[in-house]
Structure 1
Amino acid sequence: MFKKILIANRGEIACRVIKTARKMGIATVAVYSDADRDALHVQMADEAVHIGPPPANQSYIVIDKIMEAIRQTGAEAVHPGYGFLSERAEFAEALAAANVAFIGPPVGAIEAMGDKITSKKLAAEAGVSTVPGYMGLIDDAEHAAKIAGEVGYPVMIKASAGGGGKGMRIAWNDDEAREGFALSKSEAANSFGDDRIFIEKFVTQPRHIEIQVLGDKHGNCIYLGERECSIQRRNQKVIEEAPSPFLDESTRKAMGEQSVALAKAVDYCSAGTVEFIVDGDRNFYFLEMNTRLQVEHPVTELITGVDLVEQMIRVAYGEHLEIQQDDVKLDGWAIESRLYAEDPFRNFLPSIGRLTRYRPPQEVERRVRNDTGVYEGGEISRFYDPMIAKLCSWGATREAAIEEMRGALDRFEVDGIGHNLPFLSAVMDHPRFVSGNITTAFIEEEYPEGFEGAALADTDATRLSAVAAACHLVRQRRAGQVSGAMEGREYKPGADWVVQMSGDSRPVTVTDAGDWLFKVTIDGATLTIDLTKWRPGDVMIDAAVDGVPMPLKVTRITDGYRIAWRGASRKVFIRSPRVAELAALMPEKLPPDTSKMLLCPMPGLVMSIAVAEGDEVQEGQALCTVEAMKMENVLRAERKGIVSAIKAEPGDSLAVDAVIMEFE
């Protein structure tokens, strides 16, 4: 077996590979840019080599720099993770020339399947069902619009070398085809160094389902079931699960056998994934083959018991697969929620900064798993993908896996950056997700105006109010003990207050029942609150209401608390009756008027300005393009107006809410 391997990647996937290598007794080498000098993967590896500035095209995807790191450390093999160089044939060739093993498929398979145009042709030849489309090269935007019209709208515009949602756009008409072609081409060039684009028919009401394959160098190849990846936003997966709640056994078998046939057609070895679009009648169409480890591989590991990273390493070393198709059994259900550094309350725009608080839920053997590459006090950079962790749960049934995920999300503490934990929690409770009736349009259809937080049922609002009141008594009692000790007398706080939430005011009475139990009377009913030894200042409360667990997060605000639970966040004010009466008379402070400004919605780099001072712009017109975390975002005019001043220019790095331009 290899004695030392280098991981040509960063973040959580680098940490994930290091864990398996350590289990196998293999030493590891990390590589890092200036931005990742203090990163977790650098701390975990046995050795680390600096490879350049923060931008990936000056560090992580520079083959010469990775090769130099290999020479310095004497690594015998390289695991590429996903993204970066994982599907670059020239990288695998460079390794082969240096007699270094590539922990991935052969060059021929990478070339055939990594190019989406070629892969579709080969899939059709191998008898795999494919989506109608145009696989030739596209000259320009006008050519793209012409082809799209011939294929029939809607169409998907995709980067031939793409992945992870980069370089992908849906077009419903000629104008969107032209714009989508230009944006996809630019994103593809920046992300992959390859700006080739192709167009295919967009299947409406689609489900995204993929098959995990695993092959060795001796002609053996199997499939390990499927993953449902239909919860997506901007073509980027957010929640995945295995198996799919939609497939029946015959469809699973047909998809698996076609995937294996395709893999064998290109002499595939290592772990790989064949992706399909499946319509409402379970007709499935080949999308692409990813010749690498997938982000969502943990859910397959949880239901099969197969360590895919270990298998990749053993295959690269030349070992035979010890697993046959008949050995593959799908046990239970697994779900993965991707924690992104993006703000769901600002249309999921990227967020960067320091993690002032990062405390994942406790991992439990098989039931709860968290693959991460960050730590409390670490920094989230604008240079890389916004995903910072993958939280996974397992249960004997889908319902059990969802419930396990709910509890894990409730206990996940993150502060310092915008993040999508509230959104993930809301999805877990959404009736449509719970039913399994999902498509790739789920987020667009269920949150058309964006995410504003989960709704609270009246009973849940009452429970949150009761917990806040119990917390307030604990805090008041502690304050009284401190001040009483200082003044030499005992202080007894009152317990009759008014609780105000979302404009509603209700009287509440709290009594201490001992052993961290509190009786809270609200709306004529008395609830028993168990605070499980909560201390003021603790963010996490493993509370219980009338014996029902209710883990929630609480932070102190003026005259009350902000409480977050299951995707909902509410301010709960607790005041004396007189103070509550006066507070109701206070005028509401209005936010500043920014209606005549274009503000940068996220930290990013200005790529281009599409207008000039004095121009008259129309509603929906493109004003500028801002790049953040490898994605280009077009900012458009919200209404008709005249540009009076432009405050930024291409190349500027802007903070969130920085003024880009002003209007008359």
Structure 2
Amino acid sequence: MIKKILVANRGEIACRVFATAKKMGIATVAVYSDADREALHVQQADEAVHIGPSASAESYLVIEKIIAACKQTGADAVHPGYGFLSENSRFRDALDEAGIIFIGPGKKAIESMGDKITSKLIAEKAGVNTIPGYTDVVKDAQQAAEIAESIGYPVMLKASAGGGGKGMRVAYNREECIDGFERATNEARSSFGDDRVFIEKYIQQPRHIEIQVMADGHGNVIYLGERECSIQRRHQKVIEEAPSPFLTEEVRRKMGEQSCALARAVDYQSAGTVEFIADADMNFYFLEMNTRLQVEHPVTELVTGQDLVELMIRVAAGEPLPLSQADITLNGWAIETRVYAEDPFRNFLPSTGRLVGYQPPSGEGVRVDTGVYEGGEVSMFYDPMIAKLITYGSDRAEACQRMVGALDGYYIRGVSHNISFLNALMVHPRFIAGELTTNFIADEYPDGFSADLVPQDEPEVFTLVAAAVHQFYRERSGMLSGQLGGHECVVPNHWVVAANGEQHSVEVELTDAGFSVQLDGVSYQIVSDWYLGDPLFTATINGRQLTVQVERKGSGYQLFYRGATVDALVLSPRAAELSRHMLEKVPPDLSKFLLSPMPGLLVKLNVAVGDKVEEGQELAVIEAMKMENSLRALNAGVVAKVAAAAGDSLTVDQIIVEFE
């Protein structure tokens, strides 16, 4: 058996592998860059080795430094996690040459499946359904347009070495195809050092379904059910679940058998994922095979009861799989949401900084895979994932219910996060009904996501909690005042809660169990052991359990529930009456400025002082997280001042251009 594992990765996946290794009695080694010196994965490992500067190209992607760390610590095996070097055949070669076990598949599988053109040809030969398209490399934009017209629009342009949504563009006409080819080529070159692009038919209203396979070195190959990954934004998965609410048992079996056939065709060993796209009639087609552990593997673990990392380790050690296909059964339902440091109300711009407050949820059926902690940093150098939140239930409805509750209780401060967006998705009628496609987010939020799109089906919850919390604060203040003044202080219990532009009169009484609140003629009994300063108000209101995040904000309270953030003032009746006459503060007019919507590199600036611009004209291009983002004019105008230059590193809201 393997004695010591070095994880050539960081963050939550490194922590995840360490957990299984320790359970198996295997020693662990972390590697870290300058930015990760105090990271959670470094703290959780038995040993840690510094491997260089913060930029991944100078640390986590340097094969020689990983090999040196193995030799320094005596690690006899490496788990690559996902991303970084996980699908790099040169890394596999280097480990083999050094006599270090790679916990993953062989070079043949990595190389053949890592190239989308080669993998499609192999899949066709293995009897796997494939999408119609042009499987050779496209030479230039003109050829791309000619091929697209022969296949028929819409088409998908894909980087051959691509992944994670980079180097992918959908084109519905010739103009979009030419532009998309240039964008896909540039992103592919920047992200993978390989600018080859191919074209295939774009399946409309598609579902993204993937099969988890596991294979050993003794000829055994099994599949462990499927994962539905259709909820995506810009080709990046947002929510995953197992099993799929769409597949029948017969289609599941066919997809599984084809996946195993593909694995056998490339002598696969270890965990792998075969990804398919399915249409409304359950016709399915091969997309790609990921020769590594997937981000969303926890949902498969929960419904199968298998530890995929342990199986990977045992296979790498030369052991046969301890189970057969007949041993795999799917029990219950699991859902995973990806919690990111990004602002959904500003086009999902990444957010970086220190987690000044961090409290992940817990409870029955709740799992959190994370690589951060309170006081730690979300770095600008890496993927802004905070955690993977996974919930399990006996059926889909229970798993969804637990996810919504867990999102309510996920307390994060110091960086922006996408929990409002995740909660809005979870309670969306289409999601609840299981009517999913990869176009779900684009269809339901065509103009982007905004605070107005966060459902507030229970506005009374904000009023009740604000009133209860305020009464508690006043009672405590009154008690202290009475003690200091030597006489009893009478605390009023009649308030007006002002929130969302409305005012509601309430009466609040403290009880032995919590609070009794009268609101709009209805009596609410709130059972809670909440204490002053606790950011999570967990309670049972008239028999229904819920969690509301609450913080004092100036003279009021900020509450977060079901993805909605509400600012509430709790006023005396007289103060509420006077407040109606207060003037509202008008926000500043920024329409004359082009502001950077994100931190990133200004790679192109297309205007100069005095230029006339038209509505929709591209003004600048910013690169962030290796993705190019085009900034266009909202209105026609004349450039009065240019405040930045190509090559500048920009911060959020930094002025780029000022108009007359």
Task: Name the TM-score, length of structure 2 as normaliser.
Answer: 0.97
Equivalent residues of 1:242, 1:335 under 8 A apart: yes
**What is the CA–CA distance in structure 2 between the aligned matches of 1:541 and 1:104, rounded to whole Å?**
45
**What is the CA–CA distance in structure 2 between the aligned matches of 1:490 and 1:18, rounded to whole Å?**
58
Corresponding residue to 1:467 among 462, 465, 468: 465
**What is the CA–CA distance in structure 2 between the aligned matches of 1:182 and 1:372, rounded to whole Å?**
36
TM-superposed CA distance for 1:384, in Å, is 1.0
What is the 5 A alignment of 1:470-481? Answer: 470-481=468-479
**What is the CA–CA distance in structure 1 between the aligned matches of 2:363 and 2:297, rounded to whole Å?**
17
2:257 — aligned with what? 257
**What is the CA–CA distance in structure 1 between the aligned matches of 2:52 and 2:628, rounded to whole Å?**
24
Gap runs ≥5 in structure 2: none
**What is the CA–CA distance in structure 2 between the aligned matches of 1:74 and 1:156, rounded to whole Å?**
46
Equivalent residues of 1:363, 1:370 under 8 A apart: no
1:81 — aligned with what? 81
TM-superposed CA distance for 1:155, in Å, is 1.7
RMSD over aligned Cα atoms: 1.5
Which digits, 9 at most, give the CA deviation of each residue in 1:200-244, with x for residues without a partner? 111100000000000001111010000000010010000000000
Corresponding residue to 2:654 among 637, 651, 658: 658
Which digits, 9 at most, give the CA deviation of each residue in 1:104-153, with x for residues without a partner? 11101111101111001111111111111222222233333333233222
Equivalent residues of 2:207, 2:279 under 8 A apart: yes
**What is the CA–CA distance in structure 2 between the aligned matches of 1:197 and 1:106, rounded to whole Å?**
25
TM-superposed CA distance for 1:380, in Å, is 0.8
1:446 — aligned with what? 444
SS at structure 1 position matched to 2:406: helix
Which digits, 9 at most, give the CA deviation of each residue in 1:609-633, with x for residues without a partner? 2333333222222222222233332
**What is the CA–CA distance in structure 2 between the aligned matches of 1:35 and 1:622, rounded to whole Å?**
35
What is the 5 A alignment of 1:262-273? Answer: 262-273=262-273
1:15 — aligned with what? 15
Equivalent residues of 1:609, 1:623 under 8 A apart: yes
1:610 — aligned with what? 606
Equivalent residues of 1:352, 1:603 under 8 A apart: no
1:568 — aligned with what? 564
Equivalent residues of 2:408, 2:561 under 8 A apart: yes
1:584 — aligned with what? 580
- Greater shift, 500-509 or 111-120, is seen at 500-509
1:62 — aligned with what? 62
- Greater shift, 497-506 or 466-475, is seen at 497-506
SS at structure 2 position matched to 1:582: helix
Equivalent residues of 2:336, 2:390 under 8 A apart: yes
**What is the CA–CA distance in structure 2 between the aligned matches of 1:473 and 1:353, rounded to whole Å?**
34
Quote the sequence identity (%): 60
Corresponding residue to 2:504 among 506, 522, 541: 506
- Greater shift, 595-604 or 222-231, is seen at 595-604
Which amino acid is the alignment partner of residue 523 of structure 2?
A: T
Which amino acid is the alignment partner of residue 621 of structure 1?
A: Q
SS at structure 2 position matched to 1:213: strand
Corresponding residue to 1:619 among 615, 621, 635: 615
Equivalent residues of 1:605, 1:654 under 8 A apart: yes
**What is the CA–CA distance in structure 2 between the aligned matches of 1:627 and 1:589, rounded to whole Å?**
35
1:594 — aligned with what? 590
Gap runs ≥5 in structure 1: none
What is the 5 A alignment of 1:87-166? Answer: 87-166=87-166
Q: Which runs of structure 1 show a deviation greater than 3 angstroms over 4 or more consecutive aligned residues?
A: 453-458
Which amino acid is the alignment partner of residue 464 of structure 1?
A: F
SS at structure 2 position matched to 1:157: strand
The count of aligned residue pairs is 659
2:523 — aligned with what? 526
1:553 — aligned with what? 549
2:196 — aligned with what? 196
TM-superposed CA distance for 1:484, in Å, is 2.7
Equivalent residues of 2:333, 2:392 under 8 A apart: yes
TM-superposed CA distance for 1:435, in Å, is 0.6
SS at structure 2 position matched to 1:484: helix
SS at structure 1 position matched to 2:13: helix
- Greater shift, 214-223 or 634-643, is seen at 634-643
**What is the CA–CA distance in structure 2 between the aligned matches of 1:575 and 1:456, rounded to whole Å?**
26
SS at structure 2 position matched to 1:511: strand
SS at structure 1 position matched to 2:61: coil
**What is the CA–CA distance in structure 2 between the aligned matches of 1:520 and 1:363, rounded to whole Å?**
28
TM-superposed CA distance for 1:455, in Å, is 4.6
SS at structure 1 position matched to 2:51: strand
2:414 — aligned with what? 416
Which digits, 9 at most, give the CA deviation of each residue in 1:42-91, with x for residues without a partner? 11111111122222122211222222222222221111111111111111
1:39 — aligned with what? 39
**What is the CA–CA distance in structure 1 between the aligned matches of 2:196 and 2:60, rounded to whole Å?**
22
**What is the CA–CA distance in structure 1 between the aligned matches of 2:146 and 2:614, rounded to whole Å?**
26
**What is the CA–CA distance in structure 1 between the aligned matches of 2:461 and 2:652, rounded to whole Å?**
36
**What is the CA–CA distance in structure 1 between the aligned matches of 2:256 and 2:448, rounded to whole Å?**
36
